[in-house]
Amino acid sequence: MMSLRLPLAASLAIAGLVVACGGGSTSPSGPVALEDERGSVGVPPTAAEYCTRLGFTLEGSQCNFPDGTSCEQWAFFRAECGLPHSYCNQHGGTVSSKTEDMGTWTAIYAVCDVNGKQCKDATFMQTGKCE
């Protein structure tokens, strides 16, 4: 009996085509989007992605806002500046910076207060929900 062996590159190319052709799911109304306007719902955005997904420009490490102000991208991501421009504030909430002692390290992140609930601003941006 003869066995068929494909080079690794050919095998990967075939696997890629299979995934690309069958990657989305369908519903009676048509294809179901794998992403929404916020982008991928899985991994939290980086500071640069947070800035640009909100429609702002990035120059070096500065996130530039339409009103002429700017903020260092990680400081903006942690709600240490640029608060009115945050995802939370743009969607009816109020954002603030929270510092939390994690034992051997310190976490600083943006917290959104919206509709009587609190959540991380990055999570709110990912999911569109504050639970």
Q: What is the pLDDT of residues 47-64, one digit of tens each?
A: 999 999 999 999 999 999
CA–CA separation, 52 and 82 (whole Å): 14
CA distances from 24 to 21, 71, 80, 100 (A): 8, 38, 39, 39
Q: Read off the pLDDT of residues 19-35 as tens digits, 9 standing for 90 and up.
A: 444 444 444 443 443 44
For 5-17, what is the mean pLDDT?
A: 49
In the chain, where the domains are located: 37-127
For 75-98, what is the mean pLDDT?
A: 97
CA–CA separation, 73 and 59 (whole Å): 10
Average pLDDT, the chain: 79
Q: Please enumerate in sequence order all residues whose Cβ is within 8 A of that of 66, keeping only pairs 6 or more positions apart, or say none.
A: 56
Q: How many CB atoms lie within 10 A of CB 35?
A: 9
**Residues 107 and 100 sit within 8 Å (Cβ to Cβ):** yes
